[in-house]
Structure 1
Amino acid sequence: MDNLNKTERQNALAKIINQQPIATQDELLTALKAAGIEATQATISRDIREMRVVKAQDANGQLRYAIFRADTESQMERLATAIREVGLGITRVQFINVIRTLPSNGNLLAAIIDDIKFPQVVGTVAGHDTIVIISPDEEAAEWFNDQYQHAFSL
């Protein structure tokens, strides 16, 4: 299985992530190797980005990789639900919004925001419990802040 194409490798990655509690790239590389698949750290990092893999808490409260998927909810409904469930607050500073989340939920909420592709959002940077949302100007940042406040109050 050494010469897998990208699609086959990413399918194997998805299967491992869905079946095993994988929390780090090293664990993922080890699981791939055990399955007979050789890959580099750089390749795995690229696959993780392309596949929209995020870290999320499982039912036991343990951090693990999960593949971000949109489901039957509309994207805006999903965002509003996530904001109410894991959002703690938002602060706007000029053209930047900073969202505080429950621990281990920054990446998940940022993935939802990124997936919607708001024209008012140039990009996001997510950490353990904080997301920085960069807008093209102050007006766009104010719009995003208003949307967050509205979703939080629903």
Structure 2
Amino acid sequence: MKERGRIVGAGARVIAVMPDGQELRASLYERRRTSAGWEYRVGVTVWWTGSGGRPEPAEHRVWLGAGQVRPLEGGDYSRVPTRLSSMPAAFAGGRQAWTVQQLPHRPGHPGATLIHVIGCQPGGIPLDLDQTLDALKQPRAVTCRECNAASSLP
């Protein structure tokens, strides 16, 4: 893939949701937590007129909010750089909130449940404290190390 005329490596694959509801496949390059919530830097393939007047693919990178990015089934986000600010856990409606990610069963690896601070994993459905604690009681349920979800729980 080209970015401004140079070749770049692909990031984790996600769905970027446009304001009109259109869904585009995109590459997720990094995520950051700000005072306004989680943001995701994604790259979307666009076409431009290249050398010789021929159309060529190029990548446009932009920061999108948590509501505009969804994970793809089976996507691996473990290598996506994550920058956490010094602010406390993310908040939804003035209260702490979390999301649950179901990791599918694979040969040699049983399925698992991963609890995130809201916004760490794109597209999660918010849970309140009681729902989160119930989810953690299930077999093979753990908290995410990247967003330090364990420290946000009482």
Q: TM-score, normalised by structure 2?
A: 0.28
Q: TM-score, normalised by structure 1?
A: 0.28
